[in-house]
A and B are shown apart, each in its own frame.
Chain A
């Protein structure tokens, strides 16, 4: 099986930079994904890392270190609309799973 750990809550101010960490345990590895979910809404895909390093998409970046079983999501120039929950997720390659296992989510509160 697999498990993911991420902080339950993070608070930051508008314009700042925030990093949301995720550590995972899985037998085999297909990459680390990140999803955003606003209150009452559906999760939406943000980014995916299959290999070590940094992937940048606008104000959001995601990093992966497979040797450390660790990744993070970096949000820059925070805006109020970034207040949401952020989930990391993995697929388990060795068991042939075709579905994602999600972490419990990190609730980000952006303050003015």
Chain B
């Protein structure tokens, strides 16, 4: 069966520090991969999605970036965090095509 791993679960970082969140998927090949962010009590905002290794589509211009160095690995990064980067970051995968998204357990990031 397919599983998605996302870590860390919780992170507290000072303003201006770098960020690296990692997500890996097991049990499937060539998945579509996604990063979403959710502010407290709000909906999910799409940040990046990827349909293959090295292929990244950015939805929101900001100080975040994403990379997909391997088929089932998706990384969210920042060189310098802002206070506004605080939120709940969710990685997800789907089979290519019109299929449901499967989310990881999320990372709760607090920038202080």
- Chain A residues within 8 Å of B, Cβ to Cβ: 30-31, 33, 35, 41-45, 48, 50, 87, 91, 98-105, 107
Contacts and interface: CB of A to CB of B under 8 A. Distances in A.
8 closest A-B pairs by beta carbon, nearest first, are A45-B100, A42-B103, A104-B43, A102-B44, A99-B49, A102-B43, A99-B46, A105-B43
Contacts, number: 45
Residue with the highest number of chain B CB atoms closer than 10 Å, among A31, A43, A91, A105: A43
If over half of A's interface residues share one DSSP class (helix, strand or loop), that class is named, otherwise mixed; here it is: loop
A100 B42 contact: no
A87 B98 contact: no
Q: Give the interface size class of chain B.
A: 20 to 34
B101 A30 contact: no
B100 A48 contact: yes
A104 B44 CA distance: 7
